[in-house]
Amino acid sequence: MTRIGKRLANGGKALIGYITAGDPSLDATPRLVSALVRGGVDVLELGVPFSDPIADGPVIQRASERALAAGTSLRKVLGIAGCVRREHPDLPIILFTYMNPVVRYGFEALARDAATAGIDGILLTDLSVEEAGGYVKVMRAAGLDTIFLAAPTSTERRLRLIAQHSSGFVYLVSRTGVTGERASLSDAVAPLARAMRRVTDMPLAVGFGISTREQVAAVAGVADAVVVGSAFVHVIEKGGADMEQRVEALARELKSGLCR
């Protein structure tokens, strides 16, 4: 069991925080991760910037543009992950990326280098689960969790396939569409969680559109973990000398929604 599985299997609700590596700079990313950890984030999603992030809304799209302009690459993100691992030996780390950078890097090379850097799992947002067998085999052989997305539109057959290929947890997309802060939580969350529970006993995490303490608390009622990304990236986009403090404060506020 990876650090991801151990954290989510311990019975408590977890906050998963996403940031785009290299935004606003390569040097700033480890400090921002430390701010997230101080604020109570339990699991880190470290995003690889990509020029066509089809699953992401405007906030994370702009973060990818800034990170790419700063010279960030998949190889450099792995280097950042290594720095984070040395600073936070027990923090579960997920690499959040797209197929194009991974295919260019190579499955076997990525599995080897990600494991060496201390990454625990990989989430490929645009890999169809029906075509994921070879990828899963390579990543699992390196001891990495493979995390897949289940959507409100997923059929029962697809949910079963997602459960079969997932390890660590299953990522439930709260709504159709892209990432981004929303004023209200989708009504699709609870039915999707119930449907997924019928086909797996793995922990469930819900993401996309969650940005407030109240939304975190609502999701915690039906899932084991809550994923927040755009809200953190929005704070980073605003910048300022107190950026790290504001990231930490937001993490602490969101984490308080898990305390019941």
Quick check: is 56 catalytic? yes
On whether the CB atoms of residues 66 and 25 are closer than 8 A, the answer is no
pLDDT of residue 260: 53
- Average pLDDT, stretch 175-204? 77
How far apart CA 92 and CA 79 sit, in angstroms, is: 16
Closest CA to 63 of 193, 222, 238: 238
Map out the domains of the chain with their CATH numbers: 3-146+211-256 (3.20.20.70)
Quick check: is 45 catalytic? yes
Catalytic annotation, pick one of 23, 27, 42, 45: 45
- Average pLDDT, stretch 99-124? 97
pLDDT of residue 56: 76
Indicate the pLDDT class of residue 185, thresholds 50, 70 and 90.
low
On whether the CB atoms of residues 251 and 232 are closer than 8 A, the answer is yes
**Tens digit of each residue's pLDDT (9 = 90 or more) over 143-183:** 999 999 999 999 999 999 999 999 999 999 986 544 544 54
- Average pLDDT, stretch 101-116? 97
What proportion of the chain, given as a percentage, has pLDDT over 70?
95
Closest CA to 258 of 196, 192, 213: 213
3-state class (DSSP) for residue 228: strand
**Tens digit of each residue's pLDDT (9 = 90 or more) over 216-231:** 999 999 999 999 999 9
Mean pLDDT in the chain?
Answer: 93
Catalytic annotation, pick one of 56, 120, 244, 248: 56
pLDDT of residue 183: 47
- Average pLDDT, stretch 130-148? 97
**Tens digit of each residue's pLDDT (9 = 90 or more) over 51-72:** 887 767 889 999 999 999 999 9
b/e map 165-201, b = 16+ CB within 10 Å? bbbbbbbbbbbeebbbbbeebbebbbebbebbeebbe
